Amino acid sequence: MILWINPILSSVPSYPTQYPSKLTRICHSSLPNIPKQSLVNFRCDLYDLHNELVPYVEAWSWQNAIVKEKKALSQNNEDLADSLIILQHHPVYTLGAGSSEEYLNFDVKDAPFDLYRTERGGEVTYHGPGQLVMYPIINLRRYKMDLHWYLRALEEVVIRALSSAFAIEASRIEGLTGVWVGNKKLAAIGIKVSQWISYHGLALNVTTDITPFQRIVPCGIQDRQVGTIKGLLKENSQYKVGGEDNRVTTNDFELIDITHKALITEFCEVFQVDIGVNLYKDEAVKFLHFTMLSH
């Protein structure tokens, strides 16, 4: 059974699903510059749960609560720092608002894991342990009111993180959304933007068991594989852990920690933000629950 849960917000128009075109060429185009409005970086509050397995619907509710708060403040001409949530999920399949069930290789009434239809763009994907999920909840009026630019910026965060942390040269593929190494997709992206406030985000496979991807057609792309950072490190000795004497590691906890630090660093660089409040584990959960309950 597909569950459609609207945790906080009333119904809002969904961002159109993007249907991928056929592979044409690898795209190495540079990211457009963010228009700076001041010499001071914007502030972004970090909710760091990178070692925690969070139920999908709970994180979804947190996002909606923060979005609602930001929209209310914006209507009153007040402002609120941007937010960044980084975590892992218990195994779950999610569909975009316009996703087709033809990409599910199972009966929706007997799904192997929870299955949710969300308001994000894109087709079906899987989230689970070993995959870092990053939810930026930011006011795009501060940056660039262009959804395609925002998608490319999220891709840039992952591309830079893979390069700086592991010397992995990842790229975009023209006509597709996400981050690739050769024929393997390492990061999926699906967003929703309401009144120029973004939510949902990106998922990067670090040490993920990719078996559950076999039960779906990930992102609706039939002829491509899913990859992980750990898998690439095992396959190719040229990939190293940056700044650690060219040391290779395949330890799951270490890979998650290295990757999450790189993602945060590169997010700050790409979006030109400084981390304000930095909450970990219990503190982050307590604050996010409070935000949700207060709305």
List the structure tokens of 90: 């218990």
The pLDDT tens digits for 57-75 are 999 999 999 999 999 988 8
280 pLDDT above the threshold of 80: no
d(CA 124, CA 103): 7
Mean pLDDT of the chain: 85
Question: Range of 163's domain?
Answer: 86-273
219 is catalytic: yes
| % of the chain at pLDDT higher than 70 | 81
Domain assignment present for residue 262? The answer is: yes
Our count of domains for the chain comes to 1
Asked if the model's pLDDT at residue 186 lies above 80, the reply is yes
Question: Hey, what amino acid is at 70?
Answer: K
39-53, 168-182, 230-244: which has the minimum mean pLDDT? 230-244
Q: What's the burial of 204, exposed, middle or buried (CB within 10 Å: 0-12/13-18/19+)? A: buried
Given a cut of 90, whether residue 40 has pLDDT beyond it is no
The pLDDT-based confidence of 30 (bands split at 50, 70, 90) is low
What mean pLDDT comes out for the span 23-41? 50
Report if residue 10 sits inside a domain: no
284 domain-assigned = no
* Whole-number pLDDT of residue 2: 58
What's the confidence (pLDDT) of residue 282? 77
Residue 32 falls inside a structural domain: no
Residue 133 within a domain:
yes
* Residue 32 confidence (pLDDT): 54
pTM attached to this predicted model: 0.85
Closest CA to 195 of 4, 37, 10: 10
CATH code where residue 140 lies:
3.30.930.10
**Residue 201 falls within a domain, yes or no?**
yes
205 within some domain: yes
Which residue in the list 27, 44, 219, 268 is annotated as catalytic? 219
